[in-house]
Structure 1
Amino acid sequence: MTTLRPELLDELLSGYEQPEDLLGEAGLFRQLKKALLERALGAELSAHLGYEKGDPAGRGTGNSRDGTSAKTVLTEEGELELAVPRDRNGTFEPLIVPKGARRLDGFDERIVSLYARGMTVREIQGHLQEMYGVEVSPDLISRVTDAVLEEVRTWQTRPLDPVYPVVFFDALRVKIRDEGLVRNKAVYVALAITAEGDKEVLGLWIEQTEGAKFWLKVMNELKARGVGDILIAVVDGLTGFPDAIGAVFPQTTVQTPDRVGGRLCIVHLIRNSLAFVSWKDRRTVLPDIKAIYRAETIEAAAARLDEFETEWGARYPAIAPMWRRSWEHVVPMFAFPPAIRKMIYTTNAVESLHRSLRKIIKTRGSFPSDEAATKLLFLAIRNAGLRWKRPVEWTAAMGQFAILFADRFAASAR
């Protein structure tokens, strides 16, 4: 990279008195960008013709410079007028500002980034006008974001790993226009934990109703994309799911977290328990509740529950019966070692993803189509993925998976 000489910088800044001299409409930054782009375009034309401007070597070559044409491009600082050089034969194809391009690299990405953060087309239009003084039509913004659809299709059909240790399946409700009516559709998400402990969204599926037939289609799609085995599937009360996954992945263990008040998972059971506990007792009661589901065996867990009832039953009589009513949903969890159990006793992993998606869609009354909803959710997932971290318990769980599932887990490393 070339370093600008201090003398040159001093010369450029010789007339600098206020910020507008640098950043204003006629400021130095815009002048420099214009001059550099036009100089680069001239250099490209020289390379295309094979000789520099004014060089006698160009005589008789059959092609020559033919003046310039005006072109307006959108940049991060607003519109910029450029003089683009031409050749007489019309064969010059600029690279830095391609023919037909109306925006410099980075502008489309800025629009997509705003869209991915939940801004509507009109909001993006206003933002660009306010920040950069650029009047961008809603149609242009829609075309830019629609270009993402090809990326969505590629992502939705990409090859997947042969084995996934854990996959969480859950649904998110989204309002979408369908045949002139706004319908409350379900967007189904499959969030996997890979053999390396990384999180990966396998796909998105939009459907008005759920059932075995729908889930069979999803399972067959995953199989066609390369998935040969899912060790544990954690589902949040999805109708027809166990039968469908059993038909395609017969060895998969389906874990349905306990149901409490219409919501699932041990975490919710704990929260419902603590709702009965006064604030001054919570620090004392919580360790006794945790001792139940952290027990090494189901027998030990039952003993901890008895001890809890002996200790706290008189003061908080509703808690122990609530656990006993949900016991059939707690029991299957103890088939797994503690390290694996910690990963599957809660659907918080997928709920965390849903929270980030809901923040994006909450500003929209409804989506005009399934494609529009898929496009935005895909962009939101892509952004969320940048912030995901490997579960801290994965190192311990990996060893447990290797023992418990033996050859099936080993296949994930091949």
Structure 2
Amino acid sequence: MSEQEKVVDSSDEAARRLAAVLPDEAIDNLLADAESSGTPVDGVHGLLNRLTSRVLERALETEMTDHLGYEPGDPAGRGSGNSRNGRSAKTVATTAGPVNVTVPRDRNSTFAPQIVPKHSRRVGAIEDIILSLYARGLSTREIEAHLKEIYDINTSPALISKITDVVVDEITLWQNRPVDEVYPIVYVDAIRIRVRDRGSVTLKSAHLVVGVDVDGLKDVLGIWIAAEEGAKFWAHVLTQLRNRGLRDVLILCCDGLTGLPDAARSVFDKVTVQTCVVHVIRNTMRFISYGDRKKVATAMRHIYTAPGVAAAEIALKEFEQNFGQQYPGAIEVWKNAWNEFIPFLDYPAELRRIVYTTNLIESINYQLRKITKTRGHFPDDDAAMKLLFLGIRNISRKRGGASGTGTHGWKKALNFLVVEFPGRLT
């Protein structure tokens, strides 16, 4: 059972115990009193708000008793060196709206409450709500308006930005965490974002690296933002992964990223660089008129479904004879990608289906694009990284946790990999 499931079960158990403590008769009396006094059930001045205030105050009193070691009025407190010293009032933001509470104080000022921490103006899930809304692409001003409308909580874009900054340390740990020694397959792809840099808005790429481990589980190994890419940039990225424990990659699947194949071979000398076949098809289709797309797609299929390199070369020659004069740009796409495409032809069908495309990353990138496209641009790389990280974390939770999901047909593919790459999968 995951930690998240344990928390849910614990919450359900607490709710059941609370229901047992509060019988239907007591709840009916509360509702009747609220109705007779004209008090609404929810809202800023509603019954739930007042109950929240009372529960918080009771929890604070319990914390004070635990801190001092004796109950109010207990003779055991005499001569203890510390005692209760009145209360101070404060208003805190909760999901029930602003709640007024009185916080007990001790004479030595050593009491540090946990349920309503000192100087805190937010309690419970408010910060989690802000992080969740931010991870879904809402801007700080949109979150400010949402909290005011739904919870009657006054915030500011600066405060919301400060709250989301709590993940900065988490990002650093995530980007530097240890990784596995070997990944049979690593996918690399990128999304384009706009970032303000040196006074002007620049188009940059956020490169996503996803590894498939020996159990077939997918894991985002990191995100790297850069305005330009090349062998030096990719050598830096791959060296970081090596320093984090990665020693071998069997197949690196990517979309013709400049300098990546050479950098990959320099860092992992035995790696096989495989271009994404779907990207080659898409890049080819950019040169094809709408009326010819169907027959061009049929002709290309003979290339990437060929049983071997020789058959694929024949299919490419036929493709060039039929369309080369009309669409020379399409032929050029295949020729430029050929060296990184042909390893694909040596794989059995089970493995071809897995390395055929970087759609694994593209499905993640699609969701990241949804949350980044609402921003005109980011003020800096750190702001972009913060949103992308929260988006990845949100996606990972939906997909079953930090380890991600499995890979369909992995066992058959793994058996081929063990034979094709002897001694490299341990």
What TM-score range do you get, normalising by the shorter chain?
A: 0.7 to 0.9
Q: 1:241 aligns with which of 251, 260, 272?
A: 260
* 2:90 match: secondary structure: strand
| Deviation by residue 1:62-116 (Cα, 9 ceiling, x = unmatched) | 3222111012111112211111111222222212112122211311111111111
2:374 corresponding residue in structure 1: 363
Change in 2 beyond 3 A, CA 1:216/1:325: closer
* 2:40 match: secondary structure: helix
Change in 2 beyond 3 A, CA 1:243/1:295: closer
Q: 1:101 aligns with which of 120, 145, 162?
A: 120
Q: Give the Å deviation of 1:347.
A: 2.4
Does structure 1 conserve the Cα–Cα contact (< 8 Å) formed by 2:43 and 2:96? no
Query: Are 1:372 and 2:383 an aligned pair?
Result: yes
Change in 2 beyond 3 A, CA 1:229/1:16: same
| Deviation by residue 1:291-339 (Cα, 9 ceiling, x = unmatched) | 6533443455567889999xxx89xx989x9679837365331122221
Give the gaps of 5 or more residues in structure 1: none
Aligned pairs for 1:137-286 (under 5 A) are 137-257=156-276, 264-266=279-281, 275-276=290-291
Does structure 1 conserve the Cα–Cα contact (< 8 Å) formed by 2:232 and 2:263? yes
- What is the distance in 2 between the residues matched to 1:292 and 1:366? 41
Change in 2 beyond 3 A, CA 1:29/1:88: same
- What is the distance in 2 between the residues matched to 1:274 and 1:231? 38
1:398 corresponding residue in structure 2: 414
- What is the distance in 1 between the residues matched to 2:123 and 2:55? 14
* 2:215 match: secondary structure: coil
Change in 2 beyond 3 A, CA 1:307/1:373: closer
1:126 corresponding residue in structure 2: 145
Q: Give TM-score scaled by structure 1 length.
A: 0.86
Does structure 2 conserve the Cα–Cα contact (< 8 Å) formed by 1:265 and 1:346? no
Paired letter, 2:261: P
1:11 corresponding residue in structure 2: 29
State which drifts further: 114-123 or 346-355. 346-355
Does structure 1 conserve the Cα–Cα contact (< 8 Å) formed by 2:280 and 2:334? no
* 1:367 match: secondary structure: coil
| Deviation by residue 1:135-177 (Cα, 9 ceiling, x = unmatched) | 1022211110111111111101110110011111222221111
Change in 2 beyond 3 A, CA 1:230/1:76: same
| Deviation by residue 1:212-240 (Cα, 9 ceiling, x = unmatched) | 11111111111000000011111212111
Does structure 1 conserve the Cα–Cα contact (< 8 Å) formed by 2:82 and 2:106? yes
**Two-structure CA RMSD over aligned residues (Å):** 3.2
Give the gaps of 5 or more residues in structure 2: 1-13, 400-404
* 1:30 match: secondary structure: helix
Query: Are 1:326 and 2:344 an aligned pair?
Result: no
Q: Give TM-score scaled by structure 2 length.
A: 0.83
- What is the distance in 2 between the residues matched to 1:65 and 1:176? 53
- What is the distance in 1 between the residues matched to 2:255 and 2:333? 18
Query: Are 1:116 and 2:116 an aligned pair?
Result: no
Change in 2 beyond 3 A, CA 1:375/1:342: same
- What is the distance in 2 between the residues matched to 1:274 and 1:398? 40
2:346 corresponding residue in structure 1: 335
- What is the distance in 2 between the residues matched to 1:221 and 1:88? 53
Identity value in percent: 44
